[in-house]
Structure formats: C-alpha cells, structure tokens
Chain A
Amino acid sequence: MGRTLKFNIFRFNPEDTAAVPRMDTFYLEETDAMTLYIALNRIREEQDPALMFDFMCRAGICGSCAMMINGKPDLACHTKTKKLPSEITLMPMPVFKLIGDLSVDTGTWFRGMNEKVQSWVHTRKTFEPHAPEERMDNALADEIYELERCIECGCCVAACGKANMLPEGFMGATAFNRVARFMMDPRDERTNDQYFEVVGNEDGIFGCLGLLGCEDMCPKKIPLQDQLGVLRRKMGFSQVKHLFKAVMPGK
C-alpha cells in the first residue's frame, strides 16, 4: 500500500532576526495521485502553518512553483510523488533572492530581464483602431507561439552555471529565448544591430558557457538549444560587422 514519504525542507525566514537556515523533516502518508502541491499544502495545513512556498494555478501554467526537487529545478505542482523516491529534499531555487523557506523572488528578476531585453514589439507604427489587422502566415504565428510559451518559472536560470556565478548580471536562456521570439516577429522593427546592443555582450549570449544545463530543465520543453544557436549565429555575424566597422571606420 501507500509509502510514508520523508520530506527534508529548507527553512529560513530572513525577516526573523533570530533564525538561522536549517532543514526540517516532515512525514506524510502518500495518497493516490499525490503531487508536491498536495503534499506541501497538507504539511502547511496539518503540521506547520508558517511554511512558505508559492503556488498559483496548480496546473503547470503560471510558473510560480519552481523549486529544487532532489537537486533539480522543476515545477512542484506537476511533480507527482510517485515518480520520486520516498525521501524528498526540497530547496529554494538559487540565483533568485530568498523570500522565505521555498519561496523566492522571481518577480523582480524577470521584470529586470524583460527590461534588459526590451521585451516588447518595437515599431514606429501607431495603432489604427479601425483598420484591419496586418496579415501573418499561420505557420509563423505557430512558430512564435512556440517560443512565447515560456512561463518565466526560472528553472533554466536556476540550472545555469553562469547565472549562479552572476545572479544579478547574466541574462540566462529565458532571455535569449525571448530575444529570439522578437527576432522572428516581423512586427518588431529592430535590426540585428539593435538586438546586438541588447544581448551581444558578456551578460548576454557571449557569456553563455554553452553547456546547456538549461535545456533539459525547461518544464515547457522550449527548444532553448535551438534558440541559443540562432542567436549565436546572428550575433556572431553582427559582431563581425561591428569589428569591421571598428577596423575600417566609415564603412
């Protein structure tokens, strides 16, 4: 029948001046179709009401609940306990600022990322309320949607060696994916040079170690590797052009 699950959970409340980081242990009887969402809520409601963690949609679509589950970043809400051993260690994601226990501040980090990559359609046009929309090929719309599916959960960032070294600076695969999304979108009038300004630096694509720790971690299975490749190629060309300009001014 059911297993008894042992949870080792990281505890630290930065607002509590007396607190020091520690691991707490909780036990739960496993139930049918149990997810970490169900388990953590039961622990909070039945054993420790102060336990901090984040859930929203509990359906794998809002990106709130990423944490380190036995060492790997993943969405807690879609993680079934039956796929885990009976001892489960939960830690908050690194890179992001800790709010308390398993809860981290992804909001500030992602707002910063969105500002850095200027995550919006750049256009000189103005919206004409009564004109028909501009046409777009459906296949292209599908391709854009594919990259648009990032839920800003932070798993790829938590798994990234470079982001762990430079938590404030390095943009991470989610940012590269975002840039690739706008590059693909004909409504965005930015040139490759303008994108280069955004990601063609050490905090961006040239700082990426290319070890692809990020790719396997994406719960939305976004093809991050492909996007890194696209950016590298395009930015590589841009870089050559920049160098060219530097060597031969006036060109």
Chain B
Amino acid sequence: MDTFYTDLLCVGAGLAGERVAVAAASAGFETICLSIVPPRRSHSSAAQGGMQASLGNCCKGEGDCPDVHFADTVKGSDWGCDQEVARLFAETAPVAVREMAFWGIPWNRVVPGKGIYYKAGKEYEKIEKREMEGMITARDFGGTAKWRTCYTSDGTGHTLLFTMDNEVVHLGVTVHDRVEVLSLIHDGQTCMGVVARCLKTGKLRVYLAKATLIATGGYGRIYRETTNCVINNGDGTIVTLDTGIVPFGNPEAVQFHPTGIVPTNILVTEGCRGDGGTLKDVNGERFMHIYEPGKQELASRDVVSRWMTHHMRLGKGVPSPYGPHLWLDIRHLGAHHIKTKLREVEEICNEFLDVDPITQMIPVRPAHHYSMGGVRTNKDGAAYGLKGLYAAGEAACWDMHGFNRLGGNSLAETIVAGRIVGEKISEFLQGYEVDFKTSIIQAEVKKQQEKINNLVSGKNGKENVYEIKAAMGDELMDRVAVFRTGAELQKAVDNLQVIYDRAKRIGLSSKPVGANPELSMALRMPGMVRLALCTAYGALMRTESRGAHAREDYPERNDRDWLKRTLAYWKSEDDTLPTLEYEKPSKVWELPPGERGYGSSKIICTEDPEICTPKPETN
C-alpha cells in the first residue's frame, strides 16, 4: 500500500484548495494537493463573469467599500449567512484581488473618458475619471449596489486558476492529480488523513496528514440539469457526512442560475445581464421590469430564476423539443463588446448552439448552479466535530452565502477563504503532532477494499449505477428545484429512499482493471443519494421561503421560527434519512433582518431582541 505523509493534505486543487496550499507552503509546511483532474482543469476554471471586491475604482463603483459589499452579501443571503464571516470576507476581498494582480492576473482596467453602457436594454453614458486610469475596473452583477465584479473578459476563473497554479508550481507544492478520495481516516475525534484511489492504476493509497482540507467544490451533479462540470459529484461532502460526526450545513440551499443554455445547461455568465443583456419571452418582449421594476434583470439569481419560471408557467415560454425556454438578448451590446468582454459566451453560443449572439438571441432557462450548503465549519474554516479537519470554497458551508449567493461572490470566497483558512491551518500546525493509529488506518482501508470487492462480485446486487444516477437527478430536478411544495418534497423523499435502497445494491458490469470509470461512479453513488436525501429532506422540513428555497405553500420568510441553519447528520450507515439539527445562523447581527429591496416577500418578524437590535461587530 502506497502511503504518503504530509503536514497538510488539500483534497481538491481548485482555487480554494490551491490558495490554502499556497498559504501553508509559504509558511513552511509540507503540503500535498489531491485532485481528480489536473489542477488547472478544476471547475474553478469554468467561472466566467468575475469576482467581487469593493475596490471602487470605476465610476459606477465610486463610493463602494466593504460596508456596502457586506450589506449586499447579507441581503443576498436573505439573512441566512453568518454575518461575522460575511464581514471578514468583505474586508479581505480587495486585498485578495490585489494579491492576485501581484501574482499576474491581467485584470481589465479603467479606461478614462466617455463610454456607453446598457441597462435594462437602454443606452446610458458614463465618464471614467482620468486619475483612475489603469486601476482594476469592475462590471455590474446582480444584487449589488455598485459595479463591483472584477474580471478578465469572461475568463476570470481560468486566469485565476492558472495564476494560482503558477504559484503552486513556483513554491514546488506537490500535486497528485488523478487521485480520488474515498473516505476520511478518523477516530471519532481527530482526522488523520484519507483513503484514496489512484485513477491511473486503480490502486488504493493512504495519505496521512496532520491537517486535512476539504476543497472539492460543489455537488451539482446530483441534479439532472446543472451548469456544473461532470466531476462535481460532492465527494468531499460525502466523505465528511459519512463520518456521522461532521454536519452538512444547509443542504436545502441550492441556487438556480437564470441563464443555462438549452438544452446542454452550459452556463452563459451573469456578465451578459450585468453588461446590459435582457431577458425576453416568446413574443420577444422583456418581462423582468413588470415583476422587478427596480433591479429588473439584475435582481439576485434566486429572484430572477423564480420570475422566469413563473413567466414560463403563464405560457410565455418559447416552445422547443427540450421544453419551454426564454431568450437572453445581448445583440444590442454590439460586436466589439461581445468579442472583447464576452468572448467565451460567443464561443459557447457558436459551438454548442449554432447561435451567433451578435445577431441572434440565446435560448436559456434556469439550471442548477451552485451549492450554498456544504461541510459546516467555523469562521476559521475548521469543520465541526473533528480536530484537524478543515473545509474551504464551494465545498464548505463557511457560510457567507446563506440561502442565496451573489454572482461573483464565489470566486471571491475561494480566494478570501483560502487565504484566511490557510493562515489558520498554519497556526494550527505550529507544534501540532498527531498519533496516526495503525489499527484505524488498516480498518478504513479494509472497509474501502471490501466495498470495491462487493461491487465487483455483485454480492449486494446487480443494479446499474447510471440508471440510479439518472433516477436521482430526475427526482431532484422535478421536485426539489426553483419552486417547492410540501407534497412534492415528500414524494421526492419517499422516492429517493427507494433509490437509496437500490444504490446499496449496485453491481459492476465491467471488468474493474485500472482506473475503471464505472467503479468510480459506483463507489460514490450511495453517498450522492445521501446528499440528495439531505437536500430534499432539509427542504421538506423548512416550512418557509428564504433566498433560493421557495416554498409555494409557505411563501413568507419566517424569521420568527426559521432564522436557523440546518445541520444534517448521517449518524449511522443503516439510517435512511439524515438527522436534522439547527443552529442560529449568526452570532453577530450587524445588519438586523429586513427587506432585501428586490423579490416581493412577506416577512414574519422575529422578536428575539438579540437579533433585532443592530450591534457593532465583535472581534
């Protein structure tokens, strides 16, 4: 058995994993990053639009500061976030963006003088100040009071990840790509590392580490229609949930993005609407101004996705063989703008739709996009329940997003959390020793080997893994999506329990030599269904509407009873449902619950004096 020892093990080499690795390696700690794919192919590379930081350099961002960014983030979260974390985030984001500039990001810059921009389909003029020439500029995104999203054309995730990996190469951090983590090694108190499978040879390996970081990104692939890449299966969330000790925070908080293209669900960035693109219906007419006179197309994603779904329910969708959709229109932005600032969008439309966005409209509809929920951590990134276990990035529920994440706040989170959590892990590692218990390691390896053997021999059954995956994806897509009701959620839970039972009886139909892909999927499949069950059950129990969680049978945001974060545990392997516990989302209420300013909602107010009265930040 190949066994590797290190101070820090980063499970995941996307932006979050690599930023933490850079911090620990810079502090002199030995660090290994694991990734299913070469690090630069991690899903962070697919982010297009940009990253939020309140630099306030461009004229439409004037007066911006961390206070405004903080307030936008809390409102976006529909008061579901941890305000201490949101504050820490907003304060650190400008530093993180400048640091990335220092490492080589070619951020788009302020060009002084007159320029035109579009909002809600109309043309406006702006004048950029001479003294700001060459400073990092920003574009408009949904749910923000200022233009705050820093970008490199529409390849922001790509440039960020390449630059971050350049630092990883520069520091000589070890990366083992094509390695898939299967489980955590722990004794109920302390995390000691992982059991993993090499995706070149198919062999099991052990990694022993003083600190282990989960940075495996989102788990969108539990849904049938998602913008997420094909490896966003939630492995990191699965392996922590499997401990029975570490909770999965807010599994029901799932974001749908307004503009997935139809039929492939590839994303076209919010930058399209930020730069002035509009949404249109079957009659070629705009509609967002009817529902959201203020922010229109640029309300937060949850709100826009709901109105789009509502509008299609009214019969205003464009019929297609793939079901109704709406149009995204960026034609008026002009060829030059599209060819310089929305290049990937142009390429995606040309190559995947045969649509020329300069002259034609783009077919879109809401698709699953982002997982606000994840491994629950404290503000240092330390996971609840196990010493030496951390999480960062989309995999974590650090919880600056609550029930809806703002566009551009996720890339920012990966870098900001990576920076902060990386420093905290370095402090933790200082002088820390852990006793790697051989018996526990061996037992865990044996357990994983047995799972593999059973799949190969078909001991538990002969269920087909791909059929189960499809059934799970349908269930979530049809019943746990943009709008939810108690009856449908109950059905989803019932059906998913049946699917879960089948998932325990998967058998392979191919010969498992080397990096067999069927085995990879089969190993994680029961875990994926557990994530799906947490999502559906969490949503069923939450009898209110908050952010992306919209219950038609409970339309009001209920701060009296539901100003809570869900903590889902999978306590025993034999359980068929998670155990749900709840905690207050925040210790600090710098911004007491109120109106978001978009998305009509009734609010049942809380009477908790601790929450109602604004309080200064505590440190």
Interface residues of A (CB under 8 A from B): 13-16, 32-33, 35, 44-45, 48-52, 54-64, 78, 80, 99-100, 103, 105-108, 110-111, 114-115, 118-121, 123, 125, 127, 129-138, 140-142, 144-145, 148-149, 151-152, 185, 187-188
Contact = CB atoms under 8 A, between A and B. Distances in A.
Given A127-B99, A127-B102, A135-B109, A61 B514 contact: no
B18 to A, nearest CB: 13
15 contacts: A44-B518, A52-B514, A60-B351, A110-B38, A111-B169, A115-B169, A120-B104, A132-B135, A135-B109, A137-B109, A141-B152, A145-B153, A145-B155, A151-B158, A188-B104
B514 A14 contact: yes
Closest 9 CB pairs of A and B: A135-B134, A15-B514, A107-B38, A50-B510, A49-B518, A144-B106, A138-B109, A120-B166, A120-B170
Interface string B599-611: 0000000000000
Given A58-B264, A115-B169, A120-B167, A49 B109 contact: no
Q: Indicate the member of B103, B178, B352 with the most A CB atoms within 10 Å.
A: B352
A133 B98 contact: yes
A52 B514 CA distance: 10
Given A63-B40, A127-B99, A141-B106, A56 B231 contact: yes
A148 B162 contact: yes
A49 B169 CA distance: 35
Interface in B546-588: none
Interface string B216-241: 00000000000001110000000000
A40 to B, nearest CB: 11
B266 interface: yes
B111 interface: yes
B37 A107 contact: yes
Given A56-B229, A149-B158, A141 B510 contact: no
Contacts of B175: 111
Contacts, number: 195
Nearest to A115: B169
Interface string B236-274: 000000000000000000000000000110110000000
Given A121-B103, A145-B155, A15 B201 contact: yes
B356 to A, nearest CB: 15
A116 B200 CA distance: 24
Given A52-B515, A132-B135, A114 B108 contact: no
Contacts of A148: 106, 152, 155, 158-159, 162
B274 to A, nearest CB: 18
Contacts of B229: 56-58, 62
Q: Indicate the member of A58, A61, A63, A130 with the most B CB atoms within 10 Å.
A: A61
A133 B204 CA distance: 46
B43 A57 contact: yes
A239 B158 CA distance: 34
Contacts of A141: 106-109, 152
Contacts of B37: 54, 56, 62, 64, 107
Given A99-B200, A142-B340, A60 B348 contact: yes
B133 A135 contact: yes
A146 B469 CA distance: 39
B485 interface: no
A57 B169 contact: no
B177 interface: yes
Nearest to B518: A49
A125 to B, nearest CB: 8
Interface in B352-391: 352
Given A78-B351, A99-B515, A110-B40, A119 B166 contact: yes
Interface in B83-124: 95, 97-99, 101-104, 106-111
Contacts of B525: none
A145 B109 contact: no
B392 interface: no
A44 B167 contact: no
B136 A133 contact: yes
Interface in B137-162: 137, 152-153, 155, 158-159, 162
B516 interface: yes
Contact of B106 (A45, A119, A130, A145): A145
B311 interface: no
B450 to A, nearest CB: 21
Contacts of A58: 229-230, 264, 266
B135 A135 contact: yes
B194 to A, nearest CB: 19
Contacts of A130: 95
Given A107-B177, A135-B133, A138-B110, A145 B152 contact: yes
B448 interface: no
Contact of A59 (B167, B266, B513, B515): B266
Contact of B159 (A54, A80, A145): A145
Contacts of A54: 37
B19 to A, nearest CB: 14
Given A133-B101, A141-B107, A64 B41 contact: yes
Q: Indicate the member of B153, B159, B230 with the most A CB atoms within 10 Å.
A: B230
B428 interface: no
Contacts of B508: 49
Contacts of B516: 49-50, 52
A15 B340 contact: no
A58 B162 CA distance: 19
A41 B366 CA distance: 24
B190 interface: no
A138 B110 CA distance: 7
B344 interface: yes
B45 interface: yes
Contacts of A133: 97-98, 101-102, 107, 135-136
B93 to A, nearest CB: 12
A188 B104 CA distance: 8
Q: Indicate the member of B40, B133, B165, B178 with the most A CB atoms within 10 Å.
A: B40
B114 to A, nearest CB: 15
Nearest to B467: A45
B335 to A, nearest CB: 16
